[in-house]
Chains A and B, each alone.
Chain A
């Protein structure tokens, strides 16, 4: 994976190739059967589509099967799901799955408009609401419904910033406190700047192969024990309840079943904390806390690296950075490092099972992956 940065001027190809070559080199793989590229906004911001062939060419791998996968901010997670299905079909054996997003170098209104393409253009974007605004509406409803304070929710970005201090790839390596969140500028009431992930560029990549083949390349490969995708209505207003993401529940329940595990078996968790309230809701929707009780885990220090449920141990979307379409692959790459005991200063001691949740749009698509150490 590349460090997440803003303003580097690196192109989509440069970002993707850097991450992909690193993944191929570390796996000791030369020949691949296919490339899956997760990305959300290249067509709008860079006026560039056809990323499958573009990246195959940039990598000198022209000839292989190529695919671009788009599911808004879940593009990376859904690309991994597509790659897993390709392996399970038996039609492909060694698959490169990477995801890339370049968001810096554009005005805030341009990026804001691009992100809103994940919602309904005719009925929702037409009101002038932004993605921060939609999440702000969730945050307000969540705090009202469950009697939770902004202070409680602000613990999530504080945790992520603390964890990112140890991650050399993180975009924001700066410790913050709850008061820093509450006193930062309002973006969309009640959400403030430090409730929100930033604008950044980055790419991450993985090499996937069937288990028996993976063992030839790596003594201790990590198994993808479950890969699921679930959906909900495209628009937030179309749902009777907006303080829970049903797609998170659906995708995770199915993933737990496929992997044969329960939430309490998870040693390392990566959730889609694009906004503080989403981090808290994820803890609930993925089965780690009752509805309205997600912040209790933060109060009790359970989500710290040495807690019962180490969460976003590399800094999460908030502090590692959220190059939107790429984040889902960052999460899985980070979990793989945890399970291989290669996470450096971010290491969660003895982690054997990891879960990653990647959210597209306003909870409209959710990808869940469960990873398991094989050694």
Chain B
């Protein structure tokens, strides 16, 4: 069972929320859901569409083909009628062959054109054979204002179309969330107490979500004056002993790089979430790319030790964000969660792993406290202002007590202390699951991919009988694990123009996409098909 519904209209029509509500309805029946949101850099007008994909298997990509098109305006028909012949539309705004509903007329009479959303959700339910009661349940959970009107609208839509499919309950509902929500929750689970950000697409919804739920989640959110302030304030808060996270996109992260270096020298733990979008520079703000890998992996002047994780979906975002925050505090380093618009803003089914806050190495209270005490594993025990009076952090090279050092011997000693930390981290990484392997394990052809491209690679690899390798950690690069799998013919699949991961690992064959959109299974299959001279699945 694999059905997709595209809902399209203008910005301001409520398309995005419709998509999520529709997904939640199918989730109630136990299906896996995935919602792809496409929107432009404007506030009203233009074109917005969501593709809701419903399956009995886990899916993390959207297809070109859909089984139902729901059109709020004519533009949607113009742009998307190539995808399907099955159309439900707003009769007052659209002329096309299909099932028309006088949605605008009805909604405006009841007081708001936004009611069209519930009308069409009702229509989708009837068309797909989903019990109206389930839709009512989700509508009640989703709306606080105009609840009665929305329920009425739902019924009106439901009664306006004929049933075409049958969606039976196949299991229990799962969590449904965006990648940004998953990141937020993963950080909270690992003890994050302060979140600081400057609004930037596609990271802003982390700030919105956490700000909205401060009390429930036990977090303080701050919108600072600019990204330099954001990052440096985070360093100050972490120095005072509070787990702090910041979030931005490539252009905002560009302003934070000074703070990355400061974290390294002062050994202050801060978690940076960077959600990539099409670049360089302003680029295309509401579209995607995986082109900041080089930048985030290397940002910050000097020899900077870091951990960089690259989740591929909401579940991995939750788990890896928690891990990244714990690692930041364990090793007193900057760590990075690198995602992109597709992960941040799309909606996924998620079954969340069990994670918790892992306590940092704390001072035992004996003798004099030295902030940068040299130890066997390179990690100095932590104590904070408020508890002691000799916590001396520094951006300058320093002695163990934190005062400034310039002598050759002293500089070398501290650099080696930090190198020792790195060595300890590498030993830990070797025991960690750093690379995931999917598909046909003994295939002679391997797809190398990362982040949001993983889902579509898995899907296509299954069809074509290929193997897929997804490194979850991109710094330290798990070369010890990758070399086991990067054998034979390796094709890198990435959404950027140069093949950033491929180049890091010396992979020459690449399938790249750089138009601001993710791969769809159809497109990837077609492009791989051209490369692989396969007559049938058994050829590899």
A, B bound? no
| Chain A contact residues, CB within 8 Å of chain B | none
